[in-house]
Amino acid sequence: MSDEEAGAAADAVAAAVDVERNEEPSVVVADAYTAVAFPGCEVFSSWLGRAEEDHVKDASLDTFMGRYYKVEDDGETEGNDAAASAADRRSKQEAVHANYELFDTPVWRARKRQLITKKLDYLKNKPNRCSRNATGEADLGMAINELDKIRRYGSRMLVIMIGVGMAVIGFAIVSAADGLHDVKINYAQTFMPDYRKGFAVHVGISLLYVTIAYIPVAYRPIIAGSGIDYAKAILNGITVPEASGLMTMLCKGVGIVFTSAASLPVGLEGPMIHSGLCLGANAWRIVPRNIPAFDTLFSDRSRRDFAAIGTSAGVAANICSPCSAAFTSPIGGILFAMEEGSSFWSIQLMWKCVNATATTLLAWFFLESAKKGFGPQTIPLKFALQNGDGETSFIFIAVHYWEYFLVAAIGIAAGLIGCAFVEINIRLTKLRRRLNFSKPLQLLEVIFFTVLMASLTWNLPLAYTVCKKDSFPDMEFIQFNCPDGEYNELATLLLATPSTYGLKHTFHAEAHAFTIQSLVIAGCVYLFVLLFLFGAKLVMGIFIPLLYAGSCFGRAIALSLKLDPFMYAVVGASALLCGVVRVVISLTVIVLVEATGLPYLMAPLLLANISARSVANKLSKSSIYEKLLELKDIPFLEEESPKALTHRMLHARDILSSRPLVKLPSEVEVAHLVQILKDYSSHGQFPVLHGEQFIGMISQSDLLVLLAHKGLFYSAADKGSDLQATHRTITHSELRRMYPDGPSLEDLEASLTEEDKSCYLDLAPYVQIAPYTFDAHGSAERTYELYRTLGLRSLIIVDNNAQPIGEVTRRDLYSFQQEEGSEKMKAA
């Protein structure tokens, strides 16, 4: 670089620093570099450097990466006080749309160039890693690789932290729930044979537990239920801020511990999955803001991916104790996150999920070992050893060909029961919404079901007592009112928690351990109470109770036909759950390989699950979670395009949103911008025009952050002048600093003076360059596929001249999906 060029570069940097400090620039560099965002449009010429080959080859990166404003300054600016006061306030809207497009704004490109420049200077000063005489092109590649390495290491550390964090959370929840439940049952049994006192203690402690469990629900109502419906929504591209917060995770954990300990028919898996999602969705909060290479970890896309990773870890954390038949599911967790609504999936995301679930399991086993004094762990190994065709052993089960017809019949029956369960439960949920119970009545409802369940689980074993000799040392049977050395069948089935011992009894106990009558009674009690309880204001999952009820019914069928009870217990459990939640792939892997360790059940399980899902979908397409999303008016988009779009031969122009497309000029008056944000508060983003040319999109959250920085305002006299062209901008990191907890429009409007409102704001540096658009003549089916697959906030529809004529939103596409669903229900 010549002395003249070095001096010019130094003057440009000095001018940038002056402008950054809102001082008069010593040198104005109005047209140092230009870049064209769209053919024939030079609106970004003030913001981007020109990446011409001669600049790269010259190794003159001071010129190639040159700025006329200081991009690395993350200092405070005027208006930040008002923004900071609002930064702790979460958005309370029920559901908003995220933007999963990659960063592509002028300030982001400037940020990338500045980071590469810094890294290149660092490498040039390290002769052992990069020679001072290396070509500029080689140096540039090494700098980019170094930055990418830092970003990858940061992402991997977050994945490991999610896995370890989920193991700790899951271990604490399981240990606390099992411990409190055992304290209650053991203490109640000390009053035997005085059954009245024992029953009073059983009910009293259960009521104490359920009252404590209701407190976090009363404080944060969104945690009621399993949370898988919200997990599906977030993975599908919808942001529900309150459903993915850290406080939600804390309240969820407390609620499920005491609900499970109260002996209600609930499972841990739904709340655990929801907790994992919350952990993953908030992982970005621990990322240092002062490390520039981590900027991309704060995007909507990264948050969505980490939410999927957390969901996988949550399924893997459903170990529910080392002796449990519930699922230790690293691979099932990945499949669940993929199958249950993730609108975007990649090999890279899959490997991150694998790392997170493996870390969860390893951390869990470490905690379990620490609890037992780091003694040796028992890991069952059941290899597939054939003992002879048609022979039954403890490893292989003899299955006749005609039994597959029985398995299909069980699947069909499970599908019918599952569909009926969903429809009845949703009607009860709608009834609860219409009645609109107050909080005291909500607590009273919860208390009623607790007393009902406690009465059934305590008095039914007394009314129907079947005592058998306890000759199974590996099984934790309950003596109850039987003589020493014997156990009560029904008490063992009803009083043991399903996730800890219940499924172990139905899956692994000997054939004569339980009678048909006891199994049917236990299955009916759990299914009946769960049907009415799910929807009450409690934290609860339904996976384990449904698996348990199905396993009871399946085992009873096998005993009545003198078949192997183990296989039919597994088939019945999986089929009933599939009939309700309509999950086939991940459920088969969870139950088949990771819960039972017996892959030879692949054919019966798949046949039962597919039969159950097909029958249930024929009558009602939506699972119970999708029905709940409909009730909550959350627009969940299915993978398949609605037939209402496909068969009507509609075009993109036929499904445009009814709301107006509000366009913003690249230089907008502050008062006009505030008014637009007030009048169109439901708009997530706005197209920006330079004259008559469409140059990009800008989000509502970014506009609010820009309004909070009054240093960006300039007077009408400077509009379009060289002085405006060199006016300071905020950096990309400043723009993301308050995201997603940005300032509110009300606070911003109150802080603006009349003089501020008469100023102008240049939006060009912050627009999303080249946003996704779709031709108005394209098919509506392709519009749906593009929108859902890319996870867009809105899709701009353009005419033949590439001018925006409207937009398609998630709500517009969802309306066609609802229309198809209602027509199908009428036909059924």
Residue 70 has a pLDDT of 33
Least confident interval from 232-241, 321-330, 404-413, 459-468: 321-330
Q: Give residue-wise pLDDT tens across range 142-200.
A: 666 766 677 777 788 889 999 999 999 988 998 898 889 889 888 888 887 788 888 89
pTM confidence score: 0.76
**Other beta carbons less than 10 A from residue 96's beta carbon:** 16
- Of 107, 235, 260, residue with least CA distance to 177: 260
- Burial of 393 per CB tally in 10 Å (0-12, 13-18, 19+): exposed
| DSSP per-residue letters across 358-426 | HHHHHHHHHHHHHHTTS-------------STT---SS-----TTHHHHHHHHHHHHHHHHHHHHHHHH
Within the chain, what is the greatest distance between any pair of CA atoms? Answer: 101
534: helix, strand or coil:
strand
Residue 398 has a pLDDT of 67
Instruction: With a cut of 70, say whether residue 218 has pLDDT above it.
Output: yes
Q: Give residue-wise pLDDT tens across range 572-628.
A: 998 999 999 888 777 777 766 555 656 667 888 889 999 999 999 888 878 899 899
Question: What average pLDDT does this structure show over 18-32?
Answer: 31
Asked if 151-371 and 403-451+495-631 have one fold, the answer is yes
Q: How confident is the model at residue 650 (pLDDT cuts 50, 70, 90)?
A: confident
Least confident interval from 396-400, 511-515, 554-558, 667-671: 396-400
Instruction: With a cut of 90, say whether residue 448 has pLDDT above it.
Output: yes
Q: Give residue-wise pLDDT tens across range 705-762.
A: 888 888 888 887 766 655 554 555 666 566 665 555 567 788 888 888 888 888 888 8
Share of the chain above pLDDT 70, in %: 70
Instruction: With a cut of 50, say whether residue 813 has pLDDT above it.
Output: yes
Find which of 28-42, 123-137, 620-634, 722-736 is predicted with most confidence, using mean pLDDT: 620-634
Q: What angle do CA 187, 191, 197 make, to 5 degrees?
A: 105
Question: What average pLDDT does this structure show over 753-782?
Answer: 87
- Say if domain 643-827 classifies as CATH 3.30.429.10: no
Question: What average pLDDT does this structure show over 545-552?
Answer: 92
CATH number of 403-451+495-631: 1.10.3080.10
Q: Is the peptide bond before 193 cis (omega within 30 degrees of 0)?
A: yes
Q: Is 655 in contact with 251 (CB distance < 8 Å)?
A: no
Write the CA distances from 92 to 229, 391, 680, integer angstroms: 18, 62, 17
Residue 37 has a pLDDT of 35
Instruction: With a cut of 50, say whether residue 121 has pLDDT above it.
Output: yes
Q: Which residue has the higher pLDDT, 633 or 10?
A: 633
In terms of phi and psi (left: phi > 0; alpha: psi -120 to 50; beta: otherwise), the region of 480 is: left
Instruction: With a cut of 60, say whether residue 243 has pLDDT above it.
Output: yes
Q: Give residue-wise pLDDT tens across range 139-154.
A: 566 666 766 677 777 7
Residue 443 has a pLDDT of 93
Question: Average pLDDT over the chain, rounded to whole?
Answer: 75
Of the chain, the end-to-end C-alpha distance in Å amounts to 78
Which stretches does DSSP call E strand in 627-737? 664-665, 667-669, 685-690, 693-699
Question: What average pLDDT does this structure show over 452-466?
Answer: 89
Tell me which amino acid residue 292 is.
P
Task: Sort strands 794-798 and 773-775 into parallel, antiparallel or unpaired.
Answer: parallel
Domain boundaries, given as residue ranges, for the chain: 151-371, 403-451+495-631, 643-827
Q: Give residue-wise pLDDT tens across range 494-526.
A: 888 776 677 888 887 888 889 999 999 999 999
Question: What average pLDDT does this structure show over 363-372?
Answer: 83
Question: What average pLDDT does this structure show over 356-368?
Answer: 86
Question: What is d(CA 176, CA 272) in angstroms, rounded to the nearest whole number?
Answer: 14
Q: Which residue has the higher pLDDT, 598 or 783?
A: 783
CATH number of 151-371: 1.10.3080.10
- Burial of 532 per CB tally in 10 Å (0-12, 13-18, 19+): middle
Residue 762 has a pLDDT of 87
Tell me which amino acid residue 698 is.
I
